[in-house]
């Protein structure tokens, strides 16, 4: 799929993020559930659950990008009416399949979840269509200011409630270690580049949001953080 078919945003990281997850091979290897015994998955789930506090049961929640539907069960278990959306047909196919399989093995009350093909830059949803939106593990692929800002503005437009976003914060030992390693190896990174919170905060404000909560997956160690925006 060519991103330029939709609208003009030809930034490298935007196109790269679409490409990276576009094939069935990648989708079939992408995790479809959080591993219950792995500390990193456990911590990520805890952070998301904390970020969701205060969103009432029955709320209409969009999971964008939903990928293979890794968050679906967590969101459904909170009593939300869930829509999953992603730009990759391959990831969506996997999500639908995972959900159908989960539904068969669980009780028949496991609710229906819609999975839709959408681009975060121009979703086609109506203004304020959702009570909340979660955007997990996409912004760390967006390396340019223009790309992040465009996505932030679209998320703000479609949510009438909180927007939860994960990003990679440069305030982390792991990020410093990787930065040093790349300098020594003379490697230039084009993806997953942690950014200063100050930089992201300026973009958040510029998109018209206010930061309600900041949650670190492992404070000072992991670059993976969550912000809850209002």
Ligand X SMILES: C[S@@+](CC[C@H](N)C(=O)[O-])C[C@H]1O[C@@H](n2cnc3c(N)ncnc32)[C@H](O)[C@@H]1O
Q: What's the alpha-carbon Rg for the chain, to the nearest Å?
A: 17
Q: Is the peptide bond before 65 cis (omega within 30 degrees of 0)?
A: yes
91 binds ligand X (CB under 6 A): yes
21 binds ligand X (CB under 6 A): yes
Say how many CA atoms lie within 13 Å of 58 toward its Cβ.
1
Nearest approach, Cβ of residue 20 and ligand X (Å): 7
147 binds ligand X (CB under 6 A): no
- From the list 45, 96, 137, 201, which residue makes contact with ligand X (rule: CB under 6 A)? 137
- From the list 74, 83, 119, 223, which residue makes contact with ligand X (rule: CB under 6 A)? 119
Residue span binding ligand X (CB under 6 A) among the ranges 134-142, 155-163, 181-189, 200-208: 134-142
**What contacts 35, CB < 8 A, 6 or more positions away?**
41
**What is the number of other CB atoms lying within 10 angstroms of the CB of residue 12?**
13
86 binds ligand X (CB under 6 A): yes
Strand 132-135 versus strand 60-63 pairing type: parallel
Nearest approach, Cβ of residue 123 and ligand X (Å): 8
- From the list 55, 87, 158, 227, which residue makes contact with ligand X (rule: CB under 6 A)? 87
Residue span binding ligand X (CB under 6 A) among the ranges 15-23, 75-83, 104-112, 198-206: 15-23
74 binds ligand X (CB under 6 A): no
Residue span binding ligand X (CB under 6 A) among the ranges 53-61, 65-73, 100-108, 182-190: 65-73
Assess contact for 163 and 133: CB atoms under 8 A: yes
- Total residues contacting ligand X by CB under 6 A comes to 17
Region 95-114 residues binding ligand X, contact defined as CB under 6 A: none
Assess contact for 1 and 87: CB atoms under 8 A: yes
Q: Running DSSP on this structure, what letter comes out for residue 85?
A: E
Distance CA 75, CA 77 (A): 5
Distance CA 37, CA 163 (A): 28
Nearer residue to ligand X within complex by CB, 24 or 180? 24
């Amino acid at each position: 799929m060519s991103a330029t078919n939709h609208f003009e945003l030809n930034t490298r990281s935007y196109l790269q993020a679409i490409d990276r997850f576009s094939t069935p091979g990648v989708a079939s290897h992408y995790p479809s559930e959080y591993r219950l015994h792995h500390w990193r998955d456990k911590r990520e789930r805890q952070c998301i659950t904390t970020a969701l506090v205060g969103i009432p049961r029955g709320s209409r929640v969009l999971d964008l990008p939903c990928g293979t539907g890794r968050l679906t069960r967590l969101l459904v278990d909170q009593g939300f009416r869930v829509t999953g959306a992603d730009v990759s047909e391959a990831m969506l196919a996997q999500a639908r399949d995972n959900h159908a399989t989960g539904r068969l093995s669980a009780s028949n009350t496991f609710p229906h979840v819609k999975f839709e093909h959408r681009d975060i830059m121009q979703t086609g949803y109506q203004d304020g269509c959702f009570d909340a939106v979660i955007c997990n593990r996409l912004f760390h692929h967006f390396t340019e200011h223009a790309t992040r800002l465009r996505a932030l503005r679209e998320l703000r437009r479609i949510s009438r409630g909180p927007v939860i976003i994960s990003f990679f914060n440069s305030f982390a030992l792991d990020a410093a270690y990787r930065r040093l390693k790349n300098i020594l190896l003379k490697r230039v990174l084009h993806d997953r580049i942690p950014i200063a919170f100050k930089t992201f905060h300026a973009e958040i404000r510029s998109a018209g949001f206010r930061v309600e909560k900041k949650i670190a997956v492992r404070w000072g160690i992991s670059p993976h953080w969550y912000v809850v925006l209002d």
